[in-house]
């Protein structure tokens, strides 16, 4: 029995690594982060805020795209999630991500520094979506867009999931200080809403 234990441990480690890699591949298929960043215009040197960054799936894609001359402010109200982002930054020597503990109504980004804001798979979880959108405005440079990426129940097979319909998302946008610029629908499960501050 003792001789078999190292083999079992090795198998579990290999299985876990393969599972995580598979999950990342599946997620990339659904989110197509490089294509999304191309479509919305993420470029090297940009300063970008991310609301509801969680453990940083999209954060690290943004970080690589903006490069050393850019910066990502990764916001969440969950300190443990942001701690995992900081750990990965330390382990991999990533210096262009700063975590920001926010509030339910306010991401607490710094004023007038952001070229763009992303809200990826988090808009449907916001308790106060209109108030939060309005509190992003002071952080944006003139003309800077906010990009909302959220699942569309019409694409994922019904309304029994924890998602917002397109109509509900658009209603929140309508009630905020933003106008809809356009909707991109090429993702298999999500819609991309690009919004800008009302002039």
- Assess whether 24 and 67 both reside in one domain: no
Strand ranges of the sheet holding 116-120, from the earlier edge strand across to the other edge? 97-101, 71-76, 47-51, 116-120, 146-151, 190-197, 178-184
Do 7 and 82 lie in one domain? The reply is no
24 and 43 share a domain?
A: no
Q: For residue range 144-162, list pLDDT tens digits in order.
A: 999 999 999 988 876 555 7
Same domain, 43 and 102: yes
Amino acid 12: pLDDT: 61
Q: What is the CATH number of the domain that holds 82?
A: 3.40.50.150
Q: Domain of residue 14: give its range.
A: 1-31
Q: For the chain, how many structural domains are there in total?
A: 2
16 and 41 both lie in a single domain: no
Cα–Cα distances (Å) from 64 to 74, 135, 140, 160, in that order, read: 14, 27, 21, 35
4-31 helix and 57-66 helix, angle to the nearest 10 degrees: 70
Question: Do residues 178 and 118 share a domain?
Answer: yes
Together in a domain, 100 and 8 = no
**Do 63 and 125 belong together in one domain?**
yes
Percent of the chain with pLDDT over 70: 85
- Identify the pLDDT of residue 6: 62
23 and 62 fall within a common domain: no
Tell me: do 4 and 68 sit in the same domain: no
Q: Tokens 């999209």 belong to which residue?
A: 58
User: What pLDDT digit, counting tens, does each position of 71-108 carry?
Assistant: 999 999 999 999 999 999 999 999 999 999 999 999 99
Can you tell me which residue has the tokens 């382990």?
91
Report pLDDT digits (tens) over 6-55: 667 666 666 655 555 445 567 788 889 999 999 999 999 999 999 999 99
Matching residue, tokens 């215009």: 41
24 and 86 housed in the same domain: no
């Amino acid at each position: 029995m003792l001789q078999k234990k190292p083999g079992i441990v090795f198998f579990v480690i290999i299985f876990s690594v393969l599972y995580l890699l598979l999950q990342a591949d599946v997620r990339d298929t659904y989110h197509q982060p490089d294509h999304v960043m191309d479509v919305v215009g993420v470029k090297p040197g940009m300063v970008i805020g991310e609301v509801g960054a969680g453990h940083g799936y999209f954060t690290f894609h943004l970080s690589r795209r903006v490069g050393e001359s850019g910066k990502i402010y990764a916001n969440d109200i969950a300190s443990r999630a942001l701690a995992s982002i900081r750990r990965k930054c330390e382990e991999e020597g990533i210096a262009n991500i700063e975590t920001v503990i926010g509030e339910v109504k306010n991401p607490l980004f710094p004023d007038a520094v952001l070229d763009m804001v992303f809200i990826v798979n988090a808009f449907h979880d916001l308790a106060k979506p209109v108030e939060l959108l309005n509190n992003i405005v002071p952080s944006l440079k003139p003309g800077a867009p906010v990009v909302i990426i959220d699942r569309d129940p019409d694409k994922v097979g019904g309304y029994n999931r924890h998602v917002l319909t397109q109509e509900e998302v658009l209603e929140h946008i309508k009630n905020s200080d933003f106008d809809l610029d356009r909707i991109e629908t090429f993702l298999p499960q999500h819609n991309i809403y690009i919004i800008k501050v009302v002039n």
